Amino acid sequence: MVPEFKAKSIAAASLDKKAEDVVVLDVGKLTSVADYLVIGSGGSDRQVRAIADHIDATLAQQRVHPLSIEGTSTSQWVLMDYGDVVVHIFRTDVRAHYALERLWGDARHVRLQNELPPQAATRPSRARPARVRG
């Protein structure tokens, strides 16, 4: 599976389980460890575990298996190593503490499907209000 497609599949699987603030970072030019990082959050240990389990099951259906999974005993931070894609699923407070996005601040953010470009999210809509006939 192509690494970017794998990363986007992982992001989609995590969103299926209501992961929050999911980002895909292209770190291939910054490190030899992986091509992409997928980072997401869950509000509780149980949700973090559910997100990780769903990612594992979803990719297994495509015959893609992790090289290793760590952190499932506490589920505050689960790390899943898919070789060219490394996944970090954090409990929200733990993610804020480690701030991986800041550490990888030079990485390119990969746009996910249905995600608005940054300027569109802040730009006011220019659509005209619908006319009411009556």
Q: Where are the alpha helices (DSSP H) in the chain?
A: 3-16, 45-61, 92-98, 100-103, 118-122
Which of the four pLDDT bands, split at 50, 70 and 90, describes residue 1?
confident
In this predicted structure, what is the pLDDT of residue 112?
84
Q: Do 46 and 75 meet the contact criterion of CB atoms below 8 Å apart?
A: yes
SS3 5: helix
pLDDT in tens, 53-62: 999 999 999 9
pTM summary value: 0.82
pLDDT in tens, 70-128: 999 988 999 999 999 999 999 999 999 999 989 898 999 998 876 544 444 444 444 44
**What domains does the chain contain, in order, with CATH numbers?**
3-122 (3.30.460.10)
